[in-house]
């Protein structure tokens, strides 16, 4: 049974990072429609909120892999002026839009259905670009290129925030792929804040920016 579960998890993980867009969309839609992610409906008090609220500077947030609207509805209303959530799952976005209306935030929040590996913002720039438990779905060898591609959509002084679990919240087993992702970011970007928490699932949080040209030249 253990071996079957592990194999299913491996195939799922592989498809969600490397599979065609249509397969990824179908898997996520089915999981959201089957309420697999209902526990994400309440994440008030999560470690992502203090840095997100601080670095948003009452400005704009781009949330890549936004899911069913927890960040859009739980972040302090006074901390930002506009929010754009992007997700591959239509089912997730329907839920996110409904929750946004319920909380009266539809005036400052928008959602778009797209694969963040390909999607391009239409010219606007953001104070924060967030990957909240969604960076797992970028192939390891595309992490740097994907973040580099989004860098031009950061405002002057803007930051990326990545929040992930470094261990399995149920079994407490360390997850090597997310840790490798943290290492790539630490090696390739200017890290402003790095936090590791010892609570369930060992949440980790990085706030970072693209390297300045001078730093790149020094490093090279
Ligand atoms: C674990 S959920 C996290 C959702 C939300 N950020 C949160 O913290 O609750 C991962 C989300 O990433 C989305 N996702 C995965 N791969 C994606 C891709 N290539 N493009 C856009 N969204 C993607 C999924 O649909 C899902 O909503």
22-26, 160-164, 210-214: least confidently modelled range: 210-214
Ligand 1 pocket check for 32: Cβ under 6 Å: no
Residue 167 sits in a domain of what CATH number? 3.40.50.150
169-207 pLDDT tens trace: 888 899 999 999 999 999 999 999 999 999 999 999 999
The 10 Å Cβ neighbour count of residue 144 is 15
What pLDDT does residue 166 have?
A: 95
Give the chain's mean pLDDT.
93
CA of 134 to the centre of ligand 1 (A): 5
Structural domain total, the chain: 1
Rounded percentage of the chain residues whose pLDDT exceeds 70:
96
What residue owns the CA closest to ligand 1's atom 20? 115
117 lines ligand 1 (CB under 6 A): yes
Strands 154-165 and 203-209: antiparallel
Structure confidence by residue, pLDDT tens digits, 118-150: 999 998 999 999 999 999 999 999 999 999 999
Q: Is 164 near ligand 1, meaning CB less than 6 Å away?
A: no
CA of 65 from ligand 1 middle (Å) equals: 3
For 84-95, write each residue's pLDDT tens digit: 999 999 999 999
What's the confidence (pLDDT) of residue 220?
Answer: 57
User: Which residue segment(s) compose the domain that 65 sits in?
Assistant: 2-219
For position 213, what pLDDT does the model report? 67
pLDDT tens by residue, 62-110 = 999 999 999 999 999 999 999 999 999 999 999 999 999 999 999 999 9
Ligand 1, atom nearest to 163 Cα: 8
Residue 170 vs residues 4, 116, 139, 147, 165: alpha-carbon distances, Å:
18, 28, 24, 29, 11
User: Which mutation among 67, 129, 178, 204 tests ligand 1's pocket best, with the greatest number of atoms within 8 A of CB?
Assistant: 67
pTM of this prediction? 0.94
Cα 219 to ligand 1 centroid, rounded to whole Å: 33
The reply to whether ligand 1 has any atom less than 6 angstroms from the CB of 56 is no
- CA distances from residue 30 to 26, 62, 158, 201 in whole angstroms, order as listed: 6, 25, 35, 25
């Amino acid at each position: 049974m253990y071996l079957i579960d592990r194999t299913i998890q491996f195939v799922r993980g592989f498809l969600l990072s490397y599979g065609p867009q249509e397969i990824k969309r179908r898997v996520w839609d089915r999981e959201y429609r089957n309420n697999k992610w209902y526990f994400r409906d309440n994440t008030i008090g999560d470690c992502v909120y203090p840095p997100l609220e601080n670095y948003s500077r009452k400005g704009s947030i781009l949330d890549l892999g936004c899911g069913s609207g927890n960040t859009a509805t739980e972040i302090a209303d006074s901390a930002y002026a506009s929010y754009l959530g992007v997700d591959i799952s239509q089912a997730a976005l329907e839920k996110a839009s409904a929750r946004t209306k319920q909380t009266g935030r539809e005036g400052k929040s928008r959602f778009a259905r797209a694969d963040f590996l390909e999607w391009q913002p239409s010219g606007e720039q953001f104070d924060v670009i967030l990957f909240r438990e969604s960076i797992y779905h970028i192939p390891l060898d595309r992490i740097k290129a994907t973040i580099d591609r989004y860098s031009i959509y950061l405002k002057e002084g803007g930051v990326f925030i990545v929040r992930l679990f470094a261990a399995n919240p149920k079994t407490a087993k360390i997850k090597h792929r997310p840790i490798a992702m943290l290492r790539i970011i630490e090696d390739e970007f200017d890290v402003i804040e790095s936090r590791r928490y010892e609570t369930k699932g060992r949440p980790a949080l990085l706030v970072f920016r693209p390297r300045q040209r001078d730093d790149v030249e020094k490093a090279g």
